[in-house]
Amino acid sequence: KWVAWANIFAQVAFPVAAAFTPAVATAKSEHQVRETQPHTGQTQPYRLSAGESVKTVAKRHGLSVTELKKLNQQRTFHKPFAKLGAGDEIDVPHSASDALLADSLKATTDAPATENSAERWLASTASQAASMLKSGNMVDNAKNQLRNMAVGEANQAVRDWLQRYGNVKIQANVDDRGRLDGSQFDMLLPLYDTAKHLTFTQFGLRHIDSRTTANVGLGQRHFFDDGMFGYNAFLDHDITRDHTRFGIGAEYARDFMKFAANGYFRASGWKDGKKLTEYEERPANGFDLRAEGYIPTYPQLGGKLTYEQYFGNEVGLLSEKQRQKNPAAFTLGVNYTPIPLVTLGLDRRQSASGGGDTLFNLGLNYEIGTPWSKQIDPDAVAFKRTLQGGRYDLVDRNNQIVLEYRKKILIRLMMEPRIIGRGGAIIPLNVTVSTKHQLKDIVWDTSNLVSGGGKLEAAGTGAPADSLAAETVRGGTHYLLTLPPYQAEGNNTYSLSGVAYDTQGNASERVEAQILVTASAVNPAGSGFEPANKSMVADGKTQTVIRLKLTDKNGKPVSGAAGSISLTDDKSKLTGDGKDPLLGTEIKEVPEGSGIYEVTATAGTKRGKWTIKPTVDGHELPSTVIDFGDSLANMIDTDQTKFEPDNGTLNKENEETDIVL
């Protein structure tokens, strides 16, 4: 039983002691501080700027240097107090009049207040202990009490820290139509702060153009006697559209002027657009250069100049509707700060290629820990323009993600990128179209192909796929491609390109195929006309078919070479008056794959021998001779003419054979 009571006593005593100890320690430490530094409760940190000394600061607050030194007796300085200068931090009273009054009042009220505070801590703790004894569940109550005390102390520490450091900016913009363009909140908090170095974090939240964007960054600033150099890195995330980018920047400042340079790099890819239908979007890469300055004799008035450029085929630098390729813009602005808390601005943003917008700005700049009286004091604006006055200024950058856009691929045309064939060959060309909507047609550019003697036809029609010029062909997805003749000493490479369109007017990207014409594998020794010679009556109307057989070195037929065959004739041995014989213009392979090509010849009225010479891909083949006479009877050699059975002799009854004359 005594073990149980001991356990209960421990559970109650521990939170009571834990709660009571800070109060006692605080009371003791505050009593010691009051004995050595009676003005501490009414002081605030102050950093001397260029041209200031402890003497000028003491005079400003109605104190002597000795009194100001006594106020800083708890501080440790790296040099004598009287020689402190720009960049050094000291404690100063809030004002010359109320500080003395507050000190005198505090000297008479500190001790009772502290004692009352201790008594309140003790009473509160005792009350909590009694409540735990009544509830019965002392273990859980003790844990909750300890947790609440820890959280309370942590919250108090954060509040004390925020009251001493940081810079907050709240901004509302109004465009030239009088509409609110968005709201922004940014905050800079020092992490490590000395006279020469500042490490800080900055975060912000903004809602512009129906997009909510969060920013978080980390940076350092290094202070010299007459300047500051800093660098930073940021992560920007568009919460609404799920875009992310990285940013790096550098900054330099002096009294009454600041410069900055920033680079922006996307960290997320293409995503479906929210406002533009059938578009995709992603962060655009880019950079900007910024300059800001103020008039020393009138520090309330300032100006700024910004140059920015982003890269991409369709970048919405000014807006989603004003998309441009690699756009650049200049921003010229003026601002007026009547008091440190409020800044009014007018900015004109002008695109390098035309277009722009005008913004009226209202900014609220609240410095955490700075007395309200100084934030609304017009005389304090001059200090804000100095190097030390801008120590906690926000990083000057574009916190809104600029987007690049591209049209979604709604229709795509695909075909073989390389086509190889013998000159004159007719080969099928089948293409594939992938489309969201129905295919309307494909427009082909065949100008290069036609100039070499080739052509493109819609399959099954035997004619160009449209009634337009031969250079432009429209049709479906199945075509016949006739390759140009092979040029023995010329160009044999051609191009064919096309664009597909759907019924909604969307166009595919242009695709192009390279056509390479090769020489046919014709063996002149095994190729030629069949028969080698013919006879015709010179009556001006009789027609005959001339057959040309093409084979390769292995004796196999050469097919698809109709376009590579060129025929020339010699009429020098024809006599008499009248018209010359004619050769047909069309050479066909009959049947396809046989290697036998036919052309029609029409007799003239002249008599004699007509020589026709074929050439295939630069190879000359044996010629054929057609002999024209007055009549067929005069042209027949009776000694050489006879009937012969086609199949030899007849051996069986009812057996048939052809008789050839």
CATH topology identical between 412-518 and 524-645: yes
Rg (CA), the chain: 49
Are 431 and 227 spatial neighbours (Cβ–Cβ below 8 Å)? no
Collapsed DSSP state (helix, strand, coil) of residue 150: helix
Collapsed DSSP state (helix, strand, coil) of residue 2: helix
DSSP for residue 442: E
pTM of the predicted model over 0.75: no
Q: Is the dihedral of CA 538, 541, 544, 546 positive or negative?
A: positive
Burial degree of 303 (CB within 10 A; 0-12, 13-18, 19+) = middle
Other Cβ atoms closer than 10 A to 254: 16
**pLDDT of residue 646 exceeding 70:** no
Interval 313-334: pLDDT, tens: 999 998 888 899 999 999 999 9
Are 287 and 263 spatial neighbours (Cβ–Cβ below 8 Å)? yes
Q: Out of 51-55, 496-500, 576-580, which region has the weakest mean confidence (pLDDT)?
A: 51-55
Interval 424-461: pLDDT, tens: 778 888 888 888 888 888 889 999 999 888 888 887 65
Q: Which residue has the tokens 């086509």?
A: 419
The per-residue DSSP string of 600-617 comes to: EEE--S-EEEEEEEEEET
| pLDDT confidence of residue 262 | 98
Distance CA 240, CA 168 (A): 24
**Bigger pLDDT: 412 or 469?**
412
| Stretch 583-592: mean pLDDT | 85
Helix axes 2-36, 138-164, angle to 10 degrees: 20
Distance CA 171, CA 365 (A): 8
Average pLDDT, the chain: 78
| pLDDT confidence of residue 82 | 85
Distance CA 571, CA 604 (A): 11
> Pairing relation of β-strands 624-629 and 533-537?
parallel
Which region holds residue 390: left if phi is over 0, alpha if psi is between -120 and 50, else beta? alpha
Position 123 confidence tier, pLDDT thresholds 50, 70, 90: low
Which residues have CB under 8 Å from 494's CB, separation 6+? Answer: 448, 449, 452, 454, 484, 514, 515, 517
The CATH code belonging to domain 412-518 is 2.60.40.10
Q: Is the dihedral of CA 296, 297, 302, 308 positive or negative?
A: negative
DSSP for residue 378: G
Which residues have CB under 8 Å from 210's CB, separation 6+? Answer: 240, 275
Partners of residue 280 on adjacent β-strands: 272, 406
Which region holds residue 225: left if phi is over 0, alpha if psi is between -120 and 50, else beta? alpha
**Bigger pLDDT: 456 or 23?**
456
Distance CA 169, CA 178 (A): 22
Q: Out of 81-85, 218-222, 534-538, 628-632, which region has the weakest mean confidence (pLDDT)?
A: 628-632
Please state which CATH class domain 166-407 belongs to.
Answer: mainly beta
Per-domain residue ranges of the chain: 2-163, 166-407, 412-518, 524-645
Q: What angle do CA 402, 406, 408 make, to 5 degrees?
A: 140
The CATH code belonging to domain 524-645 is 2.60.40.10
Q: Out of 37-51, 222-236, 341-355, 524-538, which region has the weakest mean confidence (pLDDT)?
A: 37-51
